[in-house]
Structure 1
Amino acid sequence: MNLDAEGSCLPETRGAVYRPDAVRDNAGMLDARKITALAAALIVAQTIVRAWLVIRGDFYGDDLLLIAQASSHDGLGWSFFGQSHDGHLMPGAYLVVVVSTYIAPLQWWLPAATLVVGQVLASLAVWRAIRIIAPNARGGALAALAFYLFVPMTVTSFVWWAAGLNTLPFQAALAWVVGSTVVLVRDEPTGPRRTRLVVGAVAAFVVGLLFFEKSLVILPVALVVALLAVRHDRRVGSLLTAVFSRAKELWAAMGVVFVAWAVLFFTTSTTDDGERSASQMAELVWRSVNNAIVPSFAGGPWVWELWPPAPPMGLAPVWMIVVGWLVIAALVVTTVRARRGAAIVWVFAAVYAVGVQIPVMWLRSSENTALELAQTLRYLPDTALVFALAFALIAAAPVPGGSHAAKAEPDRRLSIAGAAGCGLLVLSAMVGTSSFSQSWSEGPTGDYLTNARQAMKDNAGRVMFDQAVPIEVLHPVTYPNNQISRIFGRLHDRPDFGGYTDRLVVLAPDGRAVPGAVTRSRTIAPSRGTCRNPGIAGPQRLRLDGPLFNIQWTIQLSYCANIGGDVEVGLEGGQPLRITVEPGLHAVYLQVSGQGDRLRIRPVTPGLRLHTGEGRVGLPVIADLAP
């Protein structure tokens, strides 16, 4: 292999002498094809890595919350698609969740496929933007692409479906709009091509917004990149005037969309009104920069820890943070010396990296927020993309005293060093990605869902009580979407979720179906009479051995009935539940809400008489754990 003047790897030609000037002057098309092939190889390699990640993954956290919402919502109008999810407006993401849940409920293969396809589209859009910004750069373009494809900043939000549904369309839209904007501003195309570029960019902007309101930043980012991309063009007089006039249709259309979506977002979004802390926000932002972004420049973090129900947190040691700062310092010093105007590009990237963290961390800043939140890297994939665009802008910038990067003859040793450093970064990033994958796969959700799906199938046609999934699977604050009736509601083979059953089965913390029992919070006194001579022929009030406060209670009651029929059972302050009883001696479990110290029972079917034995009022638990 040979290295070109900018550090890209090119296949060696047997029997030929490598001449950079000949490559540039006589083999431009061949050179472009080689660069495209190398970029394609990088994207294929990333796709393989990402496919491996999702194969080892499964649903997690908010994935189940979205599935529960899609499974239980009565209608699929704007009240569903336009609802605020943790402050996010994301109707496009909800549409994908609905389609996936209806086609393959709780089957990971389809969400995994959406993640891989979304990543491929985003990666292709990023490469398009890089080649548009830096059409004559070779090694610099490939380095920018490799940084985006492999640094851990883009990994954590990818494998988490709920996060990937937000950020992957956002990344693809950002890259596409930036690329089209640069073409419009730099090349001033006319006719159908201009129309296609404008329509395509506006459509991409809208698509990004449909999945993530953060896509609003696409407009200012595209504007800044366009300014930086043409600032060295001698044909441009007033830079701002040229940028706005050359793409006036695009700015007008995107401006209208920006304002409309911003108004819609602020009128529909709901966020926690808890206390905010400026100092906590500052600490979170610093932690995000120092412990997440900086180690990524060294391919880290290498160490990840999972603290369920939180996602894995990157724990970069001090030495890796120091190396990251040194890498950034070396890149800044080298590029500022080698490329004219590189300093302002670094300022743009740094402002974005810090600025986009401020609103997120402000909303998360409270005394209950751990600083480790910033070390999940889940808010950083677009930051990695902006850095890649910045690298492309630097690669396209002219050298001091030159007019364009392609006319420069960079130091060959420096190019080799850059290629080696790029390779080490990718290798280090693979170590960090592997460590993250191991931590991610240790989460309890996958095993729980596997067991629970089998439990649903084994109990199909029976009745189960609703219950919450374990806190390690989905946090109780998501109630009622943490209930199994919602999460498993779209499964084809599942039990009915009802208010009474003659066989109490519950899900264990690992998702297996096990016999259930009722705790003894209160005891129900037997009714008068016997099975031979049942004493309940009309409304009766059975005494409890103490009062109940008003929540949902589970009742275990044994009975014998002279005939089959319907009976109403309830507590004070709650709606009675109508159940069906069978003739003979049986037991029934039912759930009712209410309070007081009496259980009300009334036969509804004419001629039905009951006798009840001692019963229990309490909560459903695993039988082996019942007192």
Structure 2
Amino acid sequence: MRRVPGRLRRTWAALSTGERVVLAAWTMIAVQLLLRGWAVAGSWFYADDFIFLGKEATGEATTAWLFEPHNIHLMPLGLWLTKLVGAVGAFSWTAAAAEILVLQLLASLACWWMLRTFFGDRPGTLVPLGAFLFLPMSFPTVVWWAAVVNQLPHQAALYACLAAHVIYLRERRRWALVMATVFFALALGSYTKGLLVPVLLVLVAVLYFAEGGVLRRPWRALVDYWQAWTAYGVVAVSYLAVYLTTVPGTGRPDLGVLAETVDLSLTTSLAPSMLGGPWVWSSLNQVGGVGPRLFVDTPTSLVALSWLVLGMLALVAVLRRRRAWFALLLLAVYALASAVLVGAGRAGDFGVASASLELRYFADLSGVVALCLGLATLPVRGAVGSSEPRTPVVLDLHVGRRWVAAGLAVVLAGSLWSSWSYARPWHDPVQMPQEQWVANATEALTEEPVEIPDTTVPDSVLWAAGFPANLVSRLLSPLGDRVEVVDHGTDLRMLDGEGNLRPATVADVPRTEPGPDGQCGYSVSEETVIEIVPVLDFDFWLTISYLAGQDGSMTVSAGRTEVEVPVERGLHTAYVRTQGAYGSVTLTPAEGTTLCVDNMNVGFLTPLDVPQEDE
């Protein structure tokens, strides 16, 4: 057993520096996949996920649907990825988790390709790679499938586009330009933030692959690489043409909202996350604090400390290395553009805090931070000018490797804590009740054929803003013909807050006065009009409690609704979903059908809170 470590040491010693770096990078990526695999395995479908699964199950996920906007996003690639999972089977989290991890692997490999393309296989690239792999900045995109399908493909395409772009700038290879253009198109097809990719492409060309002063550099970059700008421009203009004609306009962004979003995003969200934060999360304004989504809640003292540390690191880099400020400029411009885009879109509809303090909107910055860390400390291969030690030395500062290692260990520990803290609610059945609700509903609806009203599911499963996706017929559509919803019936049962079947009722006072026929209430043997408390023009359920001496049927007319419902012998309740305003209900029994009507209720259906065995 003692010979194995010695053999491993000899094998390691036989490797070149570049081979060691590549092996170390692959090991780090594998560790990241294991950590994020743990986070994904404990999560489940949430919110928008059910909308995507329902579209696939009902046959609405057509090619045309791929180019329909989701909220304000035009994301055909992301929607196509949802089709793949939806086609596997009903609520297959295994398929979704596998897709998430494959996309995470692609994003990590793309980031590694970007870093080694810029800097080569040198040990210094492992620190930026580690920043991308383990900083919690991109962690919130992994546990929520709806965020994954646009965020991770966008990240992979962004980093791969930068790598191919640099190969073109350095070697003028046309295949590299074609690849960069394709990856740019994929970034746009994944996420609206793909519009910011040209910001990075232009800055890299101007700062690192063009000569001259402040005014001459942009001109040289424009002239020397005109083919790239033409190709990227065609893709960007084509996307914008489709986007502006497809996505409804959100109006002119409020300047105050933009300013607040930029301020909160840059100061409170991004700065701590670059050092392993935010360390502290909160549920923000979610009702009762229930729900898995968490928002940055870094204490003010730690925000200030983060800025102090980042400022000191930036100052040291600028004083010790020429052109290190290029990297700071690139990061600042892209971060500012990201915050402005979020402020112009998400913040206007959902509030500044919920947009600025949710890190998933800035997940792509994890790779940009990694790139800029490398740009500040390492030379760029083939660049006209890049980071290099200052001569003469301006700041003669020697920091021992142990101190550097200790600092990196602190950041890594904070990153792991922040990531673990974020994942906990996604593993908590109290804050993620969707899986158990769907499991209970699936079991209840497969035990026996049962007709249920098409009511909405609890907000804890899918919020009301998702209507009509929060209807039982939509959310459970992946179960296929096991779900049979009706708009009328007798003694209907419905799914309760836990997904179990319970008798349906209208929790309201009767809409009718006591009937004139004594204990019979309203005797119905021919067409009978019964006056009720007037009902507004809205979709309500009408319940009719009756006693019948034989089976039969009757026609119920109320508002714009007229439907024939069965009548069963004995004491029962008829249910009818009505539309329109009305102040009376007309009952027309079939020939030979007589019944006594006790009372009628109108309102929303709620499950009767009684044990199922007592029904």
Q: TM class by shorter-chain length?
A: 0.7 to 0.9
- Which of 92, 109, 112 is the matching residue for 2:97? 112
Deviation at 1:54, TM superposition (A): 1.0
- Which of 493, 504, 520 is the matching residue for 2:508? 520
User: Which residue does the alignment assign to 1:590?
Assistant: 576
Deviation at 1:35, TM superposition (A): 0.4
User: Which residue does the alignment assign to 1:211?
Assistant: 190
- Which of 257, 279, 289 is the matching residue for 2:266? 289
In the alignment, the residues of structure 2 paired with residue 14 and residue 98 of structure 1 have an alpha-carbon distance, to the nearest angstrom, of 48
Cα 1:325/1:599, change in 2 over 3 Å:
same
2:474 matches 1:472: no
User: Which residue does the alignment assign to 1:4?
Assistant: none
For residues 27-69 of structure 1, give each alpha carbon's deviation from its aligned partner in whole angstroms, at most 9, with x where no partner exists: 9x71101001111111111111111111121222222233344
Deviation at 1:288, TM superposition (A): 1.3
Alignment root-mean-square deviation, CA: 3.6
Deviation at 1:608, TM superposition (A): 4.4
Please tell me whether the aligned partners of residues 165 and 211 of structure 1 are also in contact (alpha carbons under 8 angstroms).
yes
2:134 matches 1:156: no
Read off the aligned partner of 1:292 and give its amino acid letter: S
User: Which residue does the alignment assign to 1:482?
Assistant: 470
2:234 matches 1:251: no
Deviation at 1:430, TM superposition (A): 0.3
Please tell me whether the aligned partners of residues 466 and 485 of structure 1 are also in contact (alpha carbons under 8 angstroms).
yes
User: Which residue does the alignment assign to 1:278?
Assistant: 255
In the alignment, the residues of structure 2 paired with residue 287 and residue 407 of structure 1 have an alpha-carbon distance, to the nearest angstrom, of 35
Deviation at 1:562, TM superposition (A): 6.9
Read off the aligned partner of 1:224 and give its amino acid letter: L
For residues 543-569 of structure 1, give each alpha carbon's deviation from its aligned partner in whole angstroms, at most 9, with x where no partner exists: 32x221122222332445676555331
Q: Which runs of 5+ in 2 are unaligned?
A: 1-5, 611-615
1:105 alignment partner, SS class: coil
Q: TM-score, normalised by structure 1?
A: 0.84
User: Which residue does the alignment assign to 2:282?
Assistant: 305
Identical residues among aligned pairs (%): 24
In the alignment, the residues of structure 2 paired with residue 398 and residue 584 of structure 1 have an alpha-carbon distance, to the nearest angstrom, of 85
Cα 1:155/1:330, change in 2 over 3 Å:
same
Cα 1:211/1:564, change in 2 over 3 Å:
farther
- Which of 309, 317, 333 is the matching residue for 1:327? 309
For residues 179-231 of structure 1, give each alpha carbon's deviation from its aligned partner in whole angstroms, at most 9, with x where no partner exists: 01101111234xxxx42x23322222222222212212222312222333335
Cα 1:299/1:66, change in 2 over 3 Å:
same
2:129 alignment partner, SS class: helix
Of 447-456 and 49-58, more deviation after overlay is shown by 447-456
In the alignment, the residues of structure 1 paired with residue 51 and residue 385 of structure 2 have an alpha-carbon distance, to the nearest angstrom, of 55
User: Which residue does the alignment assign to 1:50?
Assistant: 36
Deviation at 1:329, TM superposition (A): 1.4
2:215 matches 1:226: no
User: Which residue does the alignment assign to 1:571?
Assistant: 558
Cα 1:422/1:554, change in 2 over 3 Å:
same
Of 365-374 and 141-150, more deviation after overlay is shown by 365-374
User: Which residue does the alignment assign to 1:35?
Assistant: 21
2:149 matches 1:165: yes
2:444 matches 1:458: yes
In the alignment, the residues of structure 1 paired with residue 475 and residue 60 of structure 2 have an alpha-carbon distance, to the nearest angstrom, of 15
Please tell me whether the aligned partners of residues 449 and 511 of structure 1 are also in contact (alpha carbons under 8 angstroms).
no
Read off the aligned partner of 2:184 and give its amino acid letter: F
1:474 alignment partner, SS class: coil
2:491 alignment partner, SS class: coil
Aligned length: 590
In the alignment, the residues of structure 2 paired with residue 74 and residue 599 of structure 1 have an alpha-carbon distance, to the nearest angstrom, of 37
Cα 1:200/1:527, change in 2 over 3 Å:
farther
User: Which residue does the alignment assign to 1:421?
Assistant: 407
Cα 1:107/1:501, change in 2 over 3 Å:
farther
In the alignment, the residues of structure 1 paired with residue 61 and residue 159 of structure 2 have an alpha-carbon distance, to the nearest angstrom, of 35
In the alignment, the residues of structure 2 paired with residue 406 and residue 138 of structure 1 have an alpha-carbon distance, to the nearest angstrom, of 16
User: Which residue does the alignment assign to 2:613?
Assistant: none
2:455 alignment partner, SS class: coil
In the alignment, the residues of structure 2 paired with residue 548 and residue 254 of structure 1 have an alpha-carbon distance, to the nearest angstrom, of 59
Please tell me whether the aligned partners of residues 452 and 507 of structure 1 are also in contact (alpha carbons under 8 angstroms).
no
In the alignment, the residues of structure 2 paired with residue 543 and residue 198 of structure 1 have an alpha-carbon distance, to the nearest angstrom, of 75
Of 220-229 and 89-98, more deviation after overlay is shown by 220-229
Deviation at 1:598, TM superposition (A): 1.2
Please tell me whether the aligned partners of residues 452 and 513 of structure 1 are also in contact (alpha carbons under 8 angstroms).
no
- Which of 110, 117, 123 is the matching residue for 1:132? 117
Read off the aligned partner of 1:267 and give its amino acid letter: T
Cα 1:393/1:443, change in 2 over 3 Å:
farther
User: Which residue does the alignment assign to 2:608?
Assistant: 623
User: Which residue does the alignment assign to 2:416?
Assistant: 430
Of 315-324 and 164-173, more deviation after overlay is shown by 315-324
1:326 alignment partner, SS class: helix
Read off the aligned partner of 1:166 and give its amino acid letter: N
Please tell me whether the aligned partners of residues 323 and 386 of structure 2 are also in contact (alpha carbons under 8 angstroms).
no
In the alignment, the residues of structure 1 paired with residue 467 and residue 572 of structure 2 have an alpha-carbon distance, to the nearest angstrom, of 33
Deviation at 1:487, TM superposition (A): 1.0
1:601 alignment partner, SS class: strand
2:500 matches 1:506: no
In the alignment, the residues of structure 2 paired with residue 386 and residue 564 of structure 1 have an alpha-carbon distance, to the nearest angstrom, of 72
Please tell me whether the aligned partners of residues 182 and 229 of structure 1 are also in contact (alpha carbons under 8 angstroms).
no
Q: Which runs of 5+ in 1 are unaligned?
A: 1-10
In the alignment, the residues of structure 2 paired with residue 395 and residue 251 of structure 1 have an alpha-carbon distance, to the nearest angstrom, of 28
Q: TM-score, normalised by structure 2?
A: 0.86
2:267 alignment partner, SS class: helix
For residues 405-444 of structure 1, give each alpha carbon's deviation from its aligned partner in whole angstroms, at most 9, with x where no partner exists: 7999998745554344223212210011111112343475
User: Which residue does the alignment assign to 2:337?
Assistant: 355
In the alignment, the residues of structure 1 paired with residue 305 and residue 248 of structure 2 have an alpha-carbon distance, to the nearest angstrom, of 41
1:550 alignment partner, SS class: coil
2:566 alignment partner, SS class: strand
Read off the aligned partner of 2:203 and give its amino acid letter: V
Please tell me whether the aligned partners of residues 557 and 612 of structure 1 are also in contact (alpha carbons under 8 angstroms).
no
Deviation at 1:362, TM superposition (A): 2.9
For residues 229-255 of structure 1, give each alpha carbon's deviation from its aligned partner in whole angstroms, at most 9, with x where no partner exists: 33589xxx9755664566554433222
In the alignment, the residues of structure 2 paired with residue 286 and residue 360 of structure 1 have an alpha-carbon distance, to the nearest angstrom, of 12
